[in-house]
Structure 1
Amino acid sequence: MAKTLELQFGTEFGKTARITVDNPKEPIDEAAVKQAMEQIIAADVFFTPSGNLSVAKGARVVDRNVTEYEIV
């Protein structure tokens, strides 16, 4: 079971960009996530094909289960 925290940002050209964090500490502190996202935007260190990150749109924890089968 792999969990990731997905941070969703709006870009300057109206698209959505995502940054994922593996194995987030739970429970998620929503205020801390929002503050971190605002700091990421203010630092202006990420550039995407659809422009710079301009607004925090949302965050979510994605829980993914994978079952592998060995086929011989």
Structure 2
Amino acid sequence: MDIKKKLVMNFKTVLGKKVALSVDNPREDLNESEIKTAMENILAKNIFTSNGDDLVAFVDAKVVETGTTDYDLKL
């Protein structure tokens, strides 16, 4: 089974919409303080927009793991 991890950071826009930004393969030793600092920097520097709407607040963050199992179905 192939396991993949990504850090998903959720933000809110000026219009109240939720926007997710993700980073593949986050460091294993990543901690909450580093994630919060990164999200604060994203907001402070106004790096991203969603359909022209600025991100104004961070909502939450999580590391998501997905597993994939391939099956060889050739006859």
1:47: Cα distance to partner?
Answer: 1.1
Q: Deviations for 1:4-38, whole angstroms, at most 9, x for unmatched residues? A: 00011111110111111111112331011101101
Quote the residue 1:33 is aligned against.
Answer: 35
Unmatched tracts of structure 1, length 5 or more: none
Quote the residue 2:51 is aligned against.
Answer: 49
Work out the CA distance in 2 between the residues paired with 1:39 and 1:18: 15
Unmatched tracts of structure 2, length 5 or more: none
With normalisation by structure 2, the TM-score equals: 0.87
**Bigger Rg over Cα:** 2
1:70: Cα distance to partner?
Answer: 2.2
DSSP-derived class of the 1:65 partner: strand
Q: How many equivalent residue pairs? A: 72
State the superposition RMSD in angstroms.
1.3
* Identity across the alignment (%): 35
Quote the residue 1:21 is aligned against.
Answer: 23
